[in-house]
Chains A and B, each alone.
Chain A
Amino acid sequence: KAGVTQTPRYLIKTRGQQVTLSCSPISGHRSVSWYQQTPGQGLQFLFEYFSETQRNKGNFPGRFSGRQFSNSRSEMNVSTLELGDSALYLCASSLGGTGSGTDTQYFGPGTRLTVL
């Protein structure tokens, strides 16, 4: 089974621009979660999508948004980029069904975003 894929792997943007990152989950997985990883704050949860609906949301400003398509692929968008948005953005997929408390999250390799 192919793993979680993320594109692009590296991205350089300037302040004020916007960016879109893409995540393709493992086939059959319906839940996609996004995390921001920085040296100072570690791994922080952004949001989770399940069946095209945002199911959980972390404590990030509205500049961070996402969506999920009918094939479970997900995108996240960051508008009006700030220097502090420089980070590794990870997505993780899981089956995500109801009552799946033991659901395992499988992580992608991440997208390294640098904001200049």
Chain B
Amino acid sequence: AQRVTQPEKLLSVFKGAPVELKCNYSYSGSPELFWYVQYSRQRLQLLLRHISRESIKGFTADLNKGETSFHLKKPFAQEEDSAMYYCALRRDSGNTPLVFGKGTRLSVIA
């Protein structure tokens, strides 16, 4: 079975400091990896997916198959980045369910 692990429940950083939210997964196939974000009083929304290889709101994430990781990074944290971040996996590329990690709450301190 697939599993997604986000080891930190809470991560606090100062504004302007680099951010790295960790995500590790277990799956023997070729997964699709995603980061979802939930800002205060807003609905869960897609932040980025590994196949797009794009930067959204300054965030990037690289899929490392050797380490089975998909860490989310941003060089300079902003206060508006404070939110709940969920890493998710979908096995292969078919219409299969998303498996979510338990989330990391990022708090950016001014």
A residues in contact (CB < 8 Å) with B: 3-4, 31, 33, 35, 41-45, 48, 50, 55-56, 58, 90, 92, 96, 98-110
Contacts and interface: CB of A to CB of B under 8 A. Distances in A.
Given A107-B44, A107-B45, A108-B43, A42 B102 contact: yes
B97 A43 contact: no
A111 B85 CA distance: 20
A50 B43 contact: no
A108 B32 CA distance: 22
A98 B100 CA distance: 23
Contact of A45 (B46, B86, B93, B99): B99
A105 B96 CA distance: 12
Contacts of B102: 41-42
17 contacts: A3-B43, A42-B101, A42-B103, A43-B86, A43-B100, A44-B100, A50-B95, A56-B96, A58-B97, A101-B32, A101-B93, A101-B95, A102-B51, A102-B93, A104-B49, A107-B45, A109-B43
B103 A55 contact: no
Contacts, number: 56
Interface string B80-104: 0000001000101111111111110
B51 A110 contact: no
B26 to A, nearest CB: 16
A36 B80 CA distance: 27
A-B pairs, top 3 by smallest CB distance, nearest first, are A101-B93, A42-B102, A43-B100
Contact of B97 (A56, A104, A110): A56
B46 to A, nearest CB: 6
A48 B100 CA distance: 15
Interface in B45-61: 45-46, 49, 51
Given A42-B103, A43-B86, A104 B46 contact: yes
